[in-house]
Structure 1
Amino acid sequence: MRILIVDDNTTSLQSLRIVLSDLGHEPTPFTDPLLALEEARKNHYPLIITDIRMPRMDGISLLKALKNAPETESCDVVLITGHGDMETAVGALRHGAYDYLNKPINARELAAVVERCAEHQALLNENRDLRQHLDNRVNEVAGTLRRDLDEARTLLREVSGIGTVVSESPATERVMNDARMFHRDPSVPVLIEGETGTGKEIIARLIHFGESGCENPFVAINCAAIPHELFESELFGHEAGAYTGSRAGGSPGKLELAASGTLFLDEIAEMPLTLQPKLLRVLEDRTYYRVGGIRKRDFKARVVCAANLDLAELVEKGLFRRDLYHRLKVGHLFIPPLRERKEDIPALAALFLKRQAERKRKQFIGITPEAMDILLNHPWRGNVRELENAIERAVLVHDGQMLLPEHISFLNPGRDMLSGTESLGTIPLDIESLELPEAPIDLEALTTAIIQKALDRFEGNKSKTAAYLGISRYALHRRLQK
């Protein structure tokens, strides 16, 4: 082991050098502590043995200088003490000295101390190697995890639907930018308005997940699909025995399941008026009670709502609470219909074509200009959802590398295709040859009869009825109100 020895007494210095050499070590003597310090900083010495009382720099100062320098802090320092230096030597141990030797130095004690230092240095080297190995392994694993995380994020965007968002148009880009802004502040409730099929839930997921993902839950409720008598229990949960038919042990509601994530209330206009004040209270106080409960519970989730009806008009008609409407609208997004942002159609169609080709193991790789013209000129009353369904149908039925006009011939501009359903075929009324009777027509009654027959045909499904009649769900809702 290489050892640096420092002592201004040349006789003691030579004695130490001889004994250490006989023990098989490599001693390097110095009488000047400043020069010894400079040497220690240039070349590594596992052990430094130094006298305490020396001119220019005493042994304690040398010890502190060695321990305060990164290049020498790992070396072991052994002090040589005289009879009057015992208290100083003991204090030096607190400054990092490994041990001390009393004068006159006993060869056996010196050999024992040096041996312990050699073992200590061996342990330090082993630990250093282990740490290096561990660091290398951690970096290797971290690199793998980062790659896996990137893949997981890509998969998350696919599964959550975030990857469906295409922002070729300025309107969509504004929506996405606002969604990213709302993601950063979970305390702000957000209201997303737009026609059916415009991708409101996708934007809600973008608000929740952001660009890099979120581990907290995303809990969605379709307000139109829950019977009014069960709505409160579904939202707030219930305690045991809260009502006839309740679970024996009680049950958490969606407010509780959302935890610190996002509660998404789709078709919020369908929420019963009697429950709207309770939701407002949750948003204001961030607390709630289960049905039949007496313990106040904290609510920590973000609230995002979606509506395909004009909530402002419903408020004026007394069909939606004004105070809840304004509370939900702190963060507001309006997604324009696809027909008003046709710049998004080529990119969306290409995305859906690629996705469906992979899922159905088809060879489609592109869309011909003629087919794209058909897509661009179609009214898309079902919006993005209708476009995706149309591409899926074309890929399912046909084969080839390019999507051709004949593959989407069912998108005849003179025909209506229901969003998410099979085509209804041609319109059964021949408009050109239609003859009016001589007697006056009750247009209102005729319109009502047509709407009623369409509702009967689709078993009361308003979305399918509106698509069949070629009107928006909001327009159908207004007609039904009349």
Structure 2
Amino acid sequence: MVKLMDEAIYKILIVDDEASFRTSLKGALKKDYTVAEARNSEKAIQQVKENPPDVVLLDISMPGGSGLETLQKIREIDDYIAVIMVTAHGEAKNVVQAINQGAVDYLTKPIDMDELEIAIGKALERLHYKQEIAALRKALSKEYNIDNLIGKSPEFLQALSMAKRVARSPDANVYIGGESGVGKELFARAIHFNSPRVASPFVAVNCAAINKEVVESELFGYKRGAFTGAHTKGKKGFFEEAHSGTLLLDEVADLPLDVQAKLLRILEEKEFYAVGDSQPKKADVRVIAATNQPLEQLIEKGQFRQDLYFRLATIAINIPPLRERKEDIPLLVTYCLEIFNKKYGKKFQKVLPKAEEILLNHPWKGNVRELKNAIERVTLLEDSTEVKPDHLDFLTPTTPSPAPTKHDPGKETQDFPPSEIPSSGICLDDVIKKIITTAYTQTSKNQVQTAKLLGITRNTLLYRLKKYGIR
């Protein structure tokens, strides 16, 4: 059960076999909270199921079912309920066990009312944090829903189908290949947020960005005093930070061979050693590896371990480059326009056919990342409801420019540029105007191609057209 902090009065359930104790606590709390009572474990569990409380004050020793057993059942029903144990003197062992089982605090009879209020306040604050985290995870799960990955090409749909299937498994390692910008990390996040590990951390590591001298300590952590300059308290590595969750090793091909050997051992033995530590730590982590380099070629060159590749690629997903799935481009453009319309308060509704042709013919060497940046630029800088060809003049044209008009090479050499200026002089502006007019007519008044033909920017061309009154 998840409630918002600004909702009505919180509900507290008092579970104790002593009626006088329940009555006393209820009288003290009913002014600020909705209070319910249960005289034994059975009644408490019934109330938790039918009308879940926010906080339970639970007697640790009751006839007909101990408080520890009741605590376990409550947490199985609803992990968001904060349980505060109520104990008599001499029950320290049971208190420790209760805290280990998930109780948030304990109070000793006879209860001090100030301590009770403090304990309830802390329990509700902790509940608030848990609710915020749950809301964030829900939002992330929605954002990274696998069905939100956009594309309709057969190659993309095949990769998407594989991601859906592997997400159901909590442990299978995954290798994602593809050029830079195709969305490898997006696929990795979608797999995590649609897997049984969704409630645990997703940790993304760019292996290429880590200094090779410290990559081992960054991945596996280190013990206090492991080396000169080590933090006095030691440091958790990425594997420990991702415990019970997912670790994305992006650009895994950049890992040194000695670190590759240790990574292989982790995948096989499910444990690792922090630098300077002789005690192994458990590695309950799903590893997703990604790279834009051809691992098969690196294996042949001896730069990547073949046995590690086989371990990482339990499931292999290859995301094709955007230029090989052009049918996905209009879908991605529409999606990006929706996103950036909201972000910048614009109203782009469609892409004109010639503009779409430019987008379809562009090589997109940066893949989806480049396309997204291009659409963001257009949305930010242009004020229109349509994406027009001249909005995309910053993209390198990939279609051939119109063929120049037939001419006599010898005559062109003689007339343009002239070998000498007439003694009567010339008007430079007239010459420039004539050259621009010729180019503008030659390209059927296509501003992008005219600017390219003249070797100037479109903005400079627009300025010249206006200056010389060329229409």
**Aligned ranges for residues 264-343 of structure 1 at < 5 Å?**
264-343=248-327
> SS of the residue aligned with 1:306?
strand
Instruction: Give the aligned partner of residue 352 of structure 1.
Output: 336
How many aligned residue pairs are there? Answer: 283
Instruction: Give the aligned partner of residue 262 of structure 1.
Output: 246
Q: CA deviation at 1:149?
A: 11
Instruction: Give the aligned partner of residue 218 of structure 1.
Output: 202
Question: Could you report, residue by residue, the CA deviation over 1:297-326 in whole angstroms, capped at 9, with x for unpaired residues?
Answer: 100110000010100000000111111111
The question of 1:242 aligning with 2:262 is answered no
Q: Which amino acid aligns with 1:227?
A: N
2: CA distance between counterparts of 1:228 and 1:184?
34
Q: Which amino acid aligns with 2:209?
A: A
**Aligned ranges for residues 139-150 of structure 1 at < 5 Å?**
none
Q: CA deviation at 1:367?
A: 1.9
**Aligned ranges for residues 465-476 of structure 1 at < 5 Å?**
none
**Aligned ranges for residues 76-475 of structure 1 at < 5 Å?**
155-156=139-140, 160=144, 165-210=149-194, 214-414=198-398
1: CA distance between counterparts of 2:367 and 2:171?
30
Q: Which amino acid aligns with 1:362?
A: K
**Aligned ranges for residues 10-21 of structure 1 at < 5 Å?**
none
Question: Could you report, residue by residue, the CA deviation over 1:14-46 in whole angstroms, capped at 9, with x for unpaired residues?
Answer: xxxxxxxxxxxxxxxxxxxxxxxxxxxxxxxxx
Distance verdict in 2 for CA 1:213–1:243, change over 3 Å: closer
Question: Could you report, residue by residue, the CA deviation over 1:344-392 in whole angstroms, capped at 9, with x for unpaired residues?
Answer: 1111111111111111121223222222221111111111101001001
Q: Which amino acid aligns with 1:401?
A: T
Q: CA deviation at 1:137?
A: 11
Q: CA deviation at 1:269?
A: 0.6
1: CA distance between counterparts of 2:375 and 2:236?
40
The answer on whether the counterparts of 1:191 and 1:329 sit within 8 Å (CA) in structure 2 is: yes
The answer on whether the counterparts of 1:239 and 1:291 sit within 8 Å (CA) in structure 2 is: yes
2: CA distance between counterparts of 1:281 and 1:170?
36
Instruction: Give the aligned partner of residue 417 of structure 2.
Output: none
Gaps of 5+ in 2: 1-42, 55-79, 81-131, 400-471
> SS of the residue aligned with 1:274?
helix
2: CA distance between counterparts of 1:409 and 1:156?
36
Q: Which amino acid aligns with 2:304?
A: F
More displaced 10-residue stretch of structure 1: 157-166 or 379-388: 157-166
Runs of 4+ in 1 over 3 A off after TM superposition: 130-138, 148-155, 157-164
2: CA distance between counterparts of 1:236 and 1:153?
26
Q: CA deviation at 1:414?
A: 4.3
Distance verdict in 2 for CA 1:211–1:257, change over 3 Å: closer
1: CA distance between counterparts of 2:247 and 2:169?
14
1: CA distance between counterparts of 2:215 and 2:306?
20
Q: Which amino acid aligns with 1:389?
A: N
> SS of the residue aligned with 2:253?
helix
The answer on whether the counterparts of 2:253 and 2:304 sit within 8 Å (CA) in structure 1 is: yes
The answer on whether the counterparts of 2:361 and 2:398 sit within 8 Å (CA) in structure 1 is: no
The answer on whether the counterparts of 1:183 and 1:210 sit within 8 Å (CA) in structure 2 is: yes
Q: CA deviation at 1:396?
A: 1.3
> SS of the residue aligned with 2:290?
strand
Instruction: Give the aligned partner of residue 76 of structure 1.
Output: none
Q: CA deviation at 1:166?
A: 0.6
1: CA distance between counterparts of 2:138 and 2:340?
17
Larger Rg: 1
Question: Could you report, residue by residue, the CA deviation over 1:373-419 in whole angstroms, capped at 9, with x for unpaired residues?
Answer: 2111111111110100100111111111122111112123249xxxx
Q: Report the TM-score when normalising by structure 1.
A: 0.54
2: CA distance between counterparts of 1:266 and 1:228?
15
The answer on whether the counterparts of 2:222 and 2:234 sit within 8 Å (CA) in structure 1 is: yes
Question: Could you report, residue by residue, the CA deviation over 1:410-450 in whole angstroms, capped at 9, with x for unpaired residues?
Answer: 123249xxxxxxxxxxxxxxxxxxxxxxxxxxxxxxxxxxx
Q: Which amino acid aligns with 2:309?
A: Y
More displaced 10-residue stretch of structure 1: 159-168 or 350-359: 159-168
2: CA distance between counterparts of 1:234 and 1:305?
16
Question: Could you report, residue by residue, the CA deviation over 1:97-138 in whole angstroms, capped at 9, with x for unpaired residues?
Answer: xxxxxxxxxxxxxxxxxxxxxxxxxxxxxx9xx979965999
Identity %: 44
Q: Which amino acid aligns with 2:379?
A: V
